[in-house]
Structure 1
Amino acid sequence: MKKSKKVVLVIASIIGVIAIAGFIYWFSMPSEERNMILFMMEKGETYTNYQEYQVIDRNEDPLAPASFKPSVAQTIDGAVNRNIVAITEMVKNENSKMLKKGMMQSTGIDDYTGWHLIADEGAAEGSNPFGPSPLSYYTSGLAANLHTQILWAAGVKGVTLDDIKVEVLNKFRWHDMMSPDGAGFLDETTTNIILQSSASKEVIQEIKEMALSSWTAGEGLRNETVIEPTLIVNGENWEKYHATPGTSLSEESFVDGFKLSSITAIPKKPEYLKPVVKDDGVLGFDTMANMEFEIFAIAESVENKERPYLKKITVSTPTPETWEIYSDEFIGDNDSPLAPTSLEYFTAGTALCLTSQTTLVSAMMRLEFTDYRVEDQIDYRQEAIDSVKMVSYTDTVHSHVLIQSNESQERLEQFYNKSLALCFAGEGLKNATEMNTNLYLNGKEIK
């Protein structure tokens, strides 16, 4: 009897020591790490009713931001300028705290309401996310936009290209994410232009240079782009756009019988791109805070004579699967594309990326809030589009973060500035990005 009491006392003492050690260790951790653990462990609330979304679908109504009045780009003398609005809102679902909806619309087009996308990150092991990640859409728009400009440049030159494929690999990085000075970066964009044609090397080189000069999204990354950010606290009009319970029942999206999204049967890889970042297999807090990762997108023609700019994009995500989504472009006044345009994907991906950072920063800070969203407009400009001198620009990113919260102004400013700093997509535009481009003609690299 005495022996069993001693055993119980020893076990109790060990448990006590472990508990005290665990208590000491827990409170020795930075508050950001503790808060992030709680965020990852806490299960989301379950709801009785969910709005069912397709991964990609048309908006029912034109977008109406609460923080600004969308403007229409002025088109003059050989220029085709375009302003694109994006609005994001969180989607409440117990299986993902990173589920969100991004809506985008090119302004100034009669009866055009634009599109919405479902974006997700961090699916549980063995399951697929509800949709591609924000940076998947961002990279897809980048690749699709260059594909469009190659096709346009070939048309200006009167050259037939038998096949066009564009591979883009974006390398992203966090630096000390949980510290006050944490930041996110787009370090490098590597692009492969892969063509099949009987045209000479010299002419193909000219087409390449024309396409790169008129690559609107690429120009935005290659140069420092003006970003005008605004924080709006407890503003009006949360009735139209707000976080609601929702889900996506399938990775396949159909609009007018055309399939716009699906997960590939097996993950696909680029033909020429080589990964740079290696997965070390261990994800501790230091690794997470300084995480490096890559997203690739492959844009290729679908050979539709009625929609010459319709293309398929194979894109990776932070999880192992690859998605196939589609992009189209306007081909006339009041045209209605079969899929989102390349710059709409790029614009929505930028806003969705910032929304992801607001989610993570609010978690790290244990910020008390009711709702938040992002409303953006990016102004794009193209000049001399029907000539060999065509050029394009990403002029200004107007970015608005809206939040409902009774936290102090100081805490909200900290939340806002940290979210902006961590946004890979926004930093890629704000700073000049290293751009590496390779050209392949009929299977051989052209230097």
Structure 2
Amino acid sequence: MKKGYKISIAIVIAAAVIAVIFWFSMPSEQRHMISFMTLNGDSYDNYQEYQVIDRNDKALVPTSFEPDVADTIAGNNNRNVVAITEMVKNENSKMMKKAMVQATGIDDYTGWHLIADEGAKKGANPFGPSPLSYYTSGLAANLHTQILKAAEVKGVELDNVKVEILNKFRWNEMMSPEGAGFLDVTTTNIIIKSKVSKELIGEIKKMALNSWTAGEAIRNETVIEPTLIVNNNDFEDYHATSGTTLSEISIVDGLKLSSITKVSIKPEYLKPVVKDEGDIGFDALANMEFEIFAISESTENSDRPYLNKITLSTPSSETWEIYADEFMGANDRPVAPTSLEYFTAGTALCLTSQTTLVSAMMGLDYNDYRIENQMDYRQEAIDSTNMASYTDTVHSYIIIESNESQERLKTFYNKSLSLCFAGEGLKNATDMNTNCYLNGELVK
């Protein structure tokens, strides 16, 4: 054997030994995350074909709780919303998931399903918007609706209304035992074109903010009642399945409910403050900061006055357009998910993302898991200048099928809750920066 060849073999062996030593010197959480992030998922022979947004085939039946119907009192508009999430298995994304969401108490109403994704490869579009994109969209559309309703109470006409919302999210030491996720600040711009006075617009703004149900949920500390359920054998109807979306375009009853915009769209007044760091290492990932925006605009549909188009950002570079609608009466059926359905589904989907990441970090051995949530919303004096809204309670259930020890599963449960940006945004009072513009001028 030639001397040079022997030296080459020695170098290769030495490099391999160093690589092995380096690999096992890393914390196990980092090793597990590298494997999770770099290895492709399993491939399957058959895939369920989903639209990104579509109606549910049947009403939701959570296995962990009996959904409550909100009390109805004259002059109020209380509503509870249920969400159930499942992972969707696809070799091109380990973060693809489906939320089924439904407002309760409406006969023959089955609600909607939403596909969410955060696992797209660089240069590729995800299978759907991210959980926090839906969450932020629900915030924007919900405020937009309340502005329109406040103007109706005041008996004034607004030529155009637009709501821009920017949410700033942050992880703090994500991989440590004390790691947590946060919604640091919500910045909102209300943009109105109208001939009415600034004083009247100021009154409409105040009424809308007081009755902004989703905004109240994050502005104040909201009660969250979490529960861990282990091996309840209820994975027959709701379980992880192999699936895909054939297109980003969703069409329901002739209305296009989702699509990716041809060019990336930016807000008119919002100025992002978090810089795009490009490829980041583990330290940066563990303390990652990012922003999601949503822009809600009227569709000017005389038959559906609360039908809004929402342009939203994702952790990727593309922007999406989705639509939100609202109930207009006891027997009414919205033509798109309602703002509170988006907000509720986004909350459940965000927690589902964290269970995925935490189980990967821990190398947890499990068969399946899902989230079942109910959020209780309350609106009072809805047709008066005293209109007000509240989010009373978030009931959250993490359901897992696993033979891991109770101690490990408890760690998984607590860590998943702690890292959930949406949940922490509800649990803690969030800083709110809100501006209102009338015909381009700031309304103080």
Q: Is this a same-fold pair by TM over 0.5?
A: yes
* Mapped partners of 1:30, 1:115: distance in 2: 41
Q: What is the identity, as a one-letter code, of the residue corresponding to 2:148? A: L
Residue 262 of structure 1: how far off its partner (Å): 0.2
Q: What is the identity, as a one-letter code, of the residue corresponding to 1:230? A: T
Contact (CA 8 Å) 1:111, 1:334: kept in 2 or not? no
Q: What is the identity, as a one-letter code, of the residue corresponding to 2:171? A: W
* Mapped partners of 1:383, 1:281: distance in 2: 46
1:221-252: CA deviation from partner (whole Å, max 9, x where unpaired): 00000000000000132110000111100000
* Partner-residue secondary structure (3-state), 1:361: helix
Query: Counterpart of 1:304?
Result: 301
Greater shift after overlay, 281-290 or 262-271? 281-290
Asked whether 1:443 is paired with 2:443, we answer no
1:26-80: CA deviation from partner (whole Å, max 9, x where unpaired): 1111100000001112211111111100000000100000000000000113110
Asked whether 1:46 is paired with 2:43, we answer yes
Residue of structure 1 aligned with 2:85, choices 66, 85, 88? 88
What CA RMSD, in Å, does the superposition of the two structures yield over aligned residues?
0.7
* Mapped partners of 1:231, 1:314: distance in 2: 35
Contact (CA 8 Å) 1:66, 1:236: kept in 2 or not? no
Query: Counterpart of 1:255?
Result: 252
Residue 18 of structure 1: how far off its partner (Å): 1.1
Percent pairwise identity: 73
1:3-31: CA deviation from partner (whole Å, max 9, x where unpaired): x7211121122112211211111111110
* Mapped partners of 2:368, 2:277: distance in 1: 36
1:416-435: CA deviation from partner (whole Å, max 9, x where unpaired): 00000000000000000000
Give TM-score, length-normalised by structure 2. Answer: 0.99
1:155-195: CA deviation from partner (whole Å, max 9, x where unpaired): 00001000000000000000000011000000000000000
Query: Counterpart of 1:146?
Result: 143
* Alignment map for 1:348-367 (pairs within 5 Å): 348-367=345-364
* Mapped partners of 1:444, 1:29: distance in 2: 55
Q: What is the identity, as a one-letter code, of the residue corresponding to 2:244? A: T
Query: Counterpart of 1:405?
Result: 402
* Mapped partners of 1:130, 1:244: distance in 2: 15
Residue 122 of structure 1: how far off its partner (Å): 2.5
1:109-167: CA deviation from partner (whole Å, max 9, x where unpaired): 01100000000002111110000000000000000000000000000000100000000
Q: Which ranges in structure 2 are unaligned for 5 or more consecutive residues?
A: none
Query: Counterpart of 2:110?
Result: 113
* Mapped partners of 1:123, 1:49: distance in 2: 20
Aligned residues: 444
Greater shift after overlay, 58-67 or 122-131? 122-131
Query: Counterpart of 1:124?
Result: 121
Contact (CA 8 Å) 2:81, 2:344: kept in 1 or not? yes
* Mapped partners of 1:250, 1:83: distance in 2: 31
* Mapped partners of 1:280, 1:328: distance in 2: 36
* Mapped partners of 1:116, 1:122: distance in 2: 19
Residue of structure 1 aligned with 2:239, choices 224, 242, 247? 242
Asked whether 1:66 is paired with 2:63, we answer yes
Asked whether 1:273 is paired with 2:290, we answer no
* Mapped partners of 1:13, 1:280: distance in 2: 38
Give TM-score, length-normalised by structure 1. Answer: 0.99
Query: Counterpart of 2:340?
Result: 343
* Mapped partners of 2:327, 2:108: distance in 1: 13
Q: What is the identity, as a one-letter code, of the residue corresponding to 2:280? A: L
Q: Which ranges in structure 1 are unaligned for 5 or more consecutive residues?
A: none
Asked whether 1:25 is paired with 2:22, we answer yes
Greater shift after overlay, 217-226 or 75-84? 75-84
Query: Counterpart of 2:374?
Result: 377
Q: What is the identity, as a one-letter code, of the residue corresponding to 1:182? A: G
Query: Counterpart of 2:189?
Result: 192
1:387-446: CA deviation from partner (whole Å, max 9, x where unpaired): 111110000000000000000000000000000000000000000000000111001112
Residue 272 of structure 1: how far off its partner (Å): 0.3
1:80-123: CA deviation from partner (whole Å, max 9, x where unpaired): 00000000000011111000000000000011000000000021
* Partner-residue secondary structure (3-state), 1:111: coil
Contact (CA 8 Å) 1:361, 1:415: kept in 2 or not? yes
* Partner-residue secondary structure (3-state), 2:357: helix
* Mapped partners of 2:291, 2:31: distance in 1: 27
1:242-285: CA deviation from partner (whole Å, max 9, x where unpaired): 00111100000000111000000001000000001011234000
Q: Which runs of 4+ in 1 moved over 6 A?
A: none
Query: Counterpart of 1:77?
Result: 74
* Partner-residue secondary structure (3-state), 2:2: helix
Query: Counterpart of 2:329?
Result: 332
* Mapped partners of 1:126, 1:220: distance in 2: 35
Q: What is the identity, as a one-letter code, of the residue corresponding to 1:178? A: M
* Partner-residue secondary structure (3-state), 1:177: coil
Residue 217 of structure 1: how far off its partner (Å): 0.3
Residue of structure 2 aligned with 1:432, choices 421, 429, 442? 429
Residue of structure 1 aligned with 2:389, choices 392, 398, 408? 392
* Mapped partners of 2:229, 2:45: distance in 1: 31
